[in-house]
């Protein structure tokens, strides 16, 4: 979108040709009437201008019909005492839509994970701070309109504001473009981020947990056996230990001591079971992912 | 004497190598969707000075076309009196890059603009390793998990 800010009269003024009907985010301004640029040291900080939101829309491959939608998405209710259009209602619905899409994805991807662990994964990997990271990746922090709580620490609160803005963005897409578009957006930008399940699962005593799991599954009592070893009685031994239920190996681990290797093997067995990941899933309402290796693909 | 602080990304790699655990993969631009790193380009010129002549000519010819071709970048043209012409780029990760084009001819300025546009925004880092990877070493440290042999008691029993 091409926008012209009113220019002060200047004799040798620069005249740029008008851009007709194009999606250019170009603005021309005077030294004084431009969006305020506050030099802080060597860095120049500018408030979001009229073209910031058009560029942000294009960067995310979105096209809301209305120019003001993106501006509203990036406006927190603390801005101008909440007298302008802000993103609180969009954020409300967007948060619920986002959590639904993420929850469905996690439920289908990790079939053996308990709901408490799923909740932890959702909170850690797709919670406010992660969404704020997504917003930073978009470059949204330069486009945010908000009022910090304290002037001495203007960055405090930005994470939450950014997270809410991302939720509001999902809400805006959901309301204006429908569920499918919102789901696609979340899948591309949020769900594509890596998830760390192991960090969420608190496995303090893996051997005890493994015994309980094998009993539950009706497997034989787990036994640890050395598979490979090197450097015993030296300063840097390496043991590779496997945990067996009968004749079947359920987990493998390495370590500089037998105890540590057994610990890791039990942990590996637990993770292999609980954090088992199903890739290329089809969630209800999602477009079917046709994988190159799918057997049902008609050639 | 100032200590040399390794860049943050490299720190992660080194720490993961030291811990010998597989660290979680860093999120990467392009997986899922690509978000263009350069978000804003500001062209500053002086209307009266001679050093801005080629900049002004470039702007008259190319600015709108550049902005049209790059809708994802916010393009700002702004007079900056009594200063040399500069192009200032702002990136999504919060970094900035400024290039003074007082010595550039009209044909050289597009190259400068292009290099600023295509920059990722990350500061130039010194890479002391041949390969920077999310996994601790180039071929991966030996992992019995990916060894071909299948370990089974019954297999051992049948071997003689």
Domains defined for chain B, CATH in brackets: 44-118 (3.40.30.10)
Number of Cβ atoms within 10 Å of the Cβ of A160: 15
- Using an 8 Å CB-CB cutoff, list chain A residues near B48: 12
CB–CB contact B144 A196 (8 Å): no
Q: Give residues 146 to 175 of A whose Cβ lies within 8 Å of B.
A: none
pLDDT tens, residue by residue, A178-213: 999 999 999 999 999 988 888 888 888 999 999 999
Scanning the structure block, which residue is given the tokens 């860095």? A43
pLDDT tens, residue by residue, B60-112: 999 999 999 999 999 999 999 999 999 999 999 999 999 999 989 999 999 99
DSSP for A198-230?
Answer: HHHS--S-HHHHHHHHHHHHTPPPEEEEEEEEE
Under the banding of pLDDT at 50, 70 and 90, the label for residue B136 is: low
Contact of A51 with A27, CB cutoff 8 Å: yes
pLDDT tens, residue by residue, A240-253: 999 999 999 999 99
Handedness of CA B121, B123, B129, B135 (dihedral sign): negative
- Residue B43 CA to residue A29 CA, distance in Å, equals 11
Q: Which residue has the higher pLDDT, A297 or A100?
A: A100
In chain A, what percentage of residues exceed pLDDT 70? 79
CB-count burial class (<10 Å; 0-12, 13-18, 19+) for A203: middle
- Quick check: B1 pLDDT over 80? no
Could you tell me if A226 lies within 8 Å of chain B, comparing CB atoms? no
Positions of E strands within chain A: 2-4, 25-28, 37-40, 43-46, 222-230, 238-245, 248-255
- Residue B23 CA to residue A96 CA, distance in Å, equals 31
Among the partner-chain residues A14, A29, A247, the one whose CB lies closest to the CB of B56 is A14
State the nearest Cα–Cα gap between A129 and chain B, in angstroms.
Answer: 14
Residues 6+ apart with CB under 8 A from A82: none
State the nearest Cα–Cα gap between A58 and chain B, in angstroms.
Answer: 5
CB-count burial class (<10 Å; 0-12, 13-18, 19+) for B39: buried
Between the CA atoms of B90, B95, B101 and B106, what dihedral angle is there, to the nearest 10 degrees? -40
Chain-centroid distance of CA B158 in Å reads: 56
- Quick check: A293 pLDDT over 70? no
Q: Which residue has the higher pLDDT, A29 or A125?
A: A125
Contact of A238 with A230, CB cutoff 8 Å: yes
CB–CB contact A139 B91 (8 Å): yes
Among the partner-chain residues A28, A138, A141, the one whose CB lies closest to the CB of B77 is A28
pLDDT at A228: 92
CB–CB contact B47 A188 (8 Å): no
- Residue A266 CA to residue B79 CA, distance in Å, equals 67
pLDDT at A25: 72
DSSP for B18-45?
Answer: HHTS-PPPPP-TTSS----SEEEEEEEE
**Structure tokens of A263?**
């610990």
Number of Cβ atoms within 10 Å of the Cβ of A117: 18
CB–CB contact A247 B39 (8 Å): no
Q: What ipTM is given for this predicted complex?
A: 0.76
pLDDT at A14: 60
Residues 6+ apart with CB under 8 A from B25: A194, B134
CB–CB contact A49 B74 (8 Å): yes
Number of Cβ atoms within 10 Å of the Cβ of B122: 13
Number of Cβ atoms within 10 Å of the Cβ of B7: 14
| Mean pLDDT, chain B, whole residue set | 80
pLDDT at A26: 73
């Amino acid at each position: 979108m091409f926008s012209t800010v009113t220019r002060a009269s200047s004799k040798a003024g620069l005249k740029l040709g008008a851009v007709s009907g194009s999606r250019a985010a170009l603005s021309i301004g005077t030294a004084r009437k431009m969006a305020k640029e506050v030099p802080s040291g060597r860095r120049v900080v500018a408030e979001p201008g009229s073209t910031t939101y058009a560029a942000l829309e294009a960067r995310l491959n979105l096209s809301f019909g209305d120019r003001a939608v993106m501006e509203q998405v990036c406006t927190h209710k603390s801005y101008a005492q909440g007298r302008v259009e802000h993103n609180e209602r969009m954020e409300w619905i967007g948060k619920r839509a986002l959590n639904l899409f993420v929850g469905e994805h996690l439920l289908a991807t990790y079939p053996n994970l308990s709901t408490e662990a799923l909740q932890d994964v959702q909170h850690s990997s797709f919670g406010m701070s992660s969404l704020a990271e997504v917003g930073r990746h978009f470059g949204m922090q330069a486009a945010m309109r908000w009022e910090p709580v304290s002037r001495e620490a203007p960055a405090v609160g930005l994470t939450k504001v950014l997270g809410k803005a991302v939720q509001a963005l999902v809400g805006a897409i959901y309301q204006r473009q429908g569920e499918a578009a919102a789901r696609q957006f979340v899948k591309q930008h949020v769900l594509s981020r890596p998830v760390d399940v192991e960090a969420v699962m608190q496995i303090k005593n893996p051997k005890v947990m493994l015994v309980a799991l094998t009993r539950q599954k009706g497997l034989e009592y787990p036994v640890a056996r050395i598979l490979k070893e090197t450097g015993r009685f030296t300063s840097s031994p390496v043991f590779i230990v496997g945990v067996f239920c009968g004749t079947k190996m359920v987990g493998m681990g390495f370590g500089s001591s037998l105890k540590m290797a057994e610990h890791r093997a039990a942990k590996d067995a637990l993770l292999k079971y609980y954090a088992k990941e199903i890739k290329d899933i089809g969630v209800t309402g999602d477009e079917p992912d046709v994988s190159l290796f799918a057997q049902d693909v008609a050639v | 004497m100032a200590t040399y602080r390794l860049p943050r990304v490299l720190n992660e790699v080194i720490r993961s190598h030291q811990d010998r655990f597989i660290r979680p993969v860093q999120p990467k631009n392009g997986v899922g969707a690509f978000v263009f790193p350069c978000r804003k380009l500001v062209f500053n010129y002086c209307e009266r000075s001679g050093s801005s002549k080629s900049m002004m000519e470039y702007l008259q010819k190319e600015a709108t076309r550049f902005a049209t071709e790059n809708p994802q970048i916010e393009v700002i043209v702004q007079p900056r009196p009594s200063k040399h012409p500069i192009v200032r780029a702002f990136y999504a990760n919060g970094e900035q890059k400024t290039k003074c084009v007082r010595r550039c001819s009209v044909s050289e300025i597009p190259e400068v603009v292009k290099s600023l546009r295509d920059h990722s925004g990350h500061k130039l880092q010194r890479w002391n390793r041949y390969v920077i990877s999310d996994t601790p070493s180039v071929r991966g440290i030996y992992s019995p998990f990916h060894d071909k042999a299948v370990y089974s008691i019954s297999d051992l029993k049948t071997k003689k």
